[in-house]
């Protein structure tokens, strides 16, 4: 199919065309990359934007259950919802977190929903670019909300936060009164912390955990792009579909505030800068991974170790070989 034709179909909301385009951006083949870039350029002209919501949480915290019930709630409100995943561990576990669609049984059957598993790649940089491009494709296809889910592995939260308008951190009720070892950096990225499983026997533990996090969030510096009271923590039960509407109301409050004050477009512009620099960095790193480059690195590094050449001169030599010397 020609790029222009694929683009038309995506713009008209053709889901198979969207799936095909995502496969195209996920491909490592050079000719596919050229076509993908062309397609993304064409689609960017549509100017369509979705609300991009990043969602992170450790395995078992209830992400799939949350995406299912939250997604269904949005669909019931007439919104179109796409779900993507960033899962650098998918190659290791042999399947992605969203590979098993039966875990989002209802949502995956909705015409207004689109669920796409994480591409199976170990390299986070590669997964990040492909996911970012898949987000752009979903926006062009007219989705209102794009949920980008990740397990808290390595840097994957940062990657997702950098491509989201809102970042949600899903937590489970803690046993004791200590915070669950959530790294400060991750808490700082969160716009809203959702303590899940606030139902049945777990309800009071969930409320305690939520109070602990509310306290911890108050100690963080208030961000200029946020209204009073944000970032915030609240309890939900994905299983019983409780608290989801109030969480959605809070998300909308935050979004409207940021849009009214220009923070929304400011953040997107910053993210675009970040991904531009990141793409350059990744491309340069890829050059270092070719067999020639690795062999040459070893050679030069041996010479440096023997004192035959200085580190600076060897680095210059290497860069010249890579064609990037200044």
In whole angstroms, the minimum distance from the beta carbon of 79 to ligand GTP comes to 21
How far apart are CB 57 and ligand GTP at their closest, in Å? 5
Total residue length of the chain: 326
Burial of 154: CB neighbours in 10 Å, binned 0-12, 13-18, 19+: exposed
Task: Give one DSSP letter per residue of 163-201, joined into a string.
Answer: T-SEEEEEEPPPSSSS-----HHHHHH-SEEEE---SGG
Q: Contact at 8 Å (CB) between 138 and 46?
A: no
The yes or no reply on residue 148 touching ligand GTP (CB under 6 A) is no
Q: Which residue is at the shortest CB distance from ligand GTP?
A: 62
290 DSSP assignment? S
Nearer to ligand GTP (CB atom), residue 59 or residue 295: 59
What ranges make up the beta strands (E) of the chain?
51-56, 81-86, 113-115, 145-150, 166-171, 192-195, 232-235
C-beta neighbour count of 248 within 10 angstroms? 17
Single out the residue of 83, 85, 113, 151 in contact with ligand GTP (rule: CB under 6 A).
Answer: 151
**Identified binder of ligand GTP from the candidate list 65, 90, 118, 164, rule CB under 6 A:** 65
One symbol per residue from 200 to 229: x for binding ligand GTP (CB under 6 A), - otherwise; what is it? x-x---------------------------
Distance of closest approach, residue 63 Cβ to ligand GTP, in angstroms = 4
Residue carrying the six token digits 């969203």: 98
Taking the complex as a whole, the smallest distance from the CB of residue 81 to ligand GTP amounts, in Å, to 16
Closest separation in Å from C-beta 193 to ligand GTP:
15
d(CA 157, CA 161): 6
**Cα-only R_g, the chain:** 22
Told to check if 237 binds ligand GTP by CB under 6 A, we report yes
Determine the interface stretch with ligand GTP among 24-32, 106-114, 237-245, 271-279 (rule: CB under 6 A). 237-245
Among 19, 211, 239, 293, binds ligand GTP (CB under 6 A): 239
Compute how many residues bind ligand GTP; rule: CB under 6 A.
19
Work out which of 97, 134, 171, 233 binds ligand GTP, going by CB under 6 A.
97
Residue 137's Cβ-count burial label (10 Å; 0-12, 13-18, 19+) is buried
Find the angle CA(215)-CA(218)-CA(219) to the nearest 5 degrees.
Answer: 95
Pick between residue 6 and residue 205 the one whose CB is nearest to ligand GTP: 205
User: Cβ(135)–Cβ(148) under 8 Å?
Assistant: yes
Stretch that binds ligand GTP, among 109-117, 235-243, 270-278, 299-307 (CB under 6 A): 235-243
Residues 183-202 that bind ligand GTP (CB under 6 A): 196-197, 199-200, 202
**Under the rule (CB under 6 A), what is the footprint of ligand GTP?**
57, 59-65, 97, 103, 151, 196-197, 199-200, 202, 237-239
């Amino acid at each position: 199919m020609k790029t222009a034709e694929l683009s038309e179909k995506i713009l008209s909301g053709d889901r198979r065309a969207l799936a095909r385009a995502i496969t195209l951006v996920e491909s490592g083949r050079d000719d596919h990359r050229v076509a993908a870039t062309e397609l993304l350029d064409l689609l960017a002209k549509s100017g369509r934007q979705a609300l991009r919501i990043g969602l992170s949480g450790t395995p078992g915290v209830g992400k799939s259950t949350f995406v299912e019930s939250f997604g269904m709630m949005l669909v019931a409100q007439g919104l179109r919802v796409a779900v993507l995943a960033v899962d650098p561990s998918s190659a290791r576990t042999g399947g992605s977190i969203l590979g098993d669609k039966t875990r989002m049984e209802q949502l995956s059957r909705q015409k207004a929903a689109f669920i796409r598993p994480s591409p199976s790649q170990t390299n986070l940089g590669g997964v990040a670019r492909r996911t970012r491009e898949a987000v752009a494709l979903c926006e062009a296809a007219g989705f209102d909300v794009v949920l980008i889910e990740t397990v808290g592995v390595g840097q994957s939260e940062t990657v997702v936060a950098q491509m989201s308008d809102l970042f949600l951190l899903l937590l489970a009720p803690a046993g004791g009164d200590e915070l669950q070892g959530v790294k400060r950096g991750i808490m700082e990225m969160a716009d809203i912390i959702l303590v899940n499983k606030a139902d049945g026997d777990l309800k009071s533990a969930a409320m305690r955990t939520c109070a602990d996090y509310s306290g911890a969030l108050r100690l963080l510096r208030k961000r200029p792009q946020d209204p009073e009271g944000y970032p915030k923590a609240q309890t939900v039960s994905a299983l019983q579909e409780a608290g989801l509407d109030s969480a959605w109301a809070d998300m909308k409050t935050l979004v409207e505030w940021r849009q009214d004050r220009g923070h929304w477009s400011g953040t997107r512009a910053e993210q675009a800068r970040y991904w531009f620099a990141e793409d350059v960095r990744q491309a340069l790193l890829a050059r270092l991974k070719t067999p020639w480059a690795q062999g040459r690195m070893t050679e030069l590094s041996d010479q440096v170790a023997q004192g035959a050449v200085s580190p600076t001169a060897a680095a210059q030599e290497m860069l010249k070989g890579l064609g990037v010397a200044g």
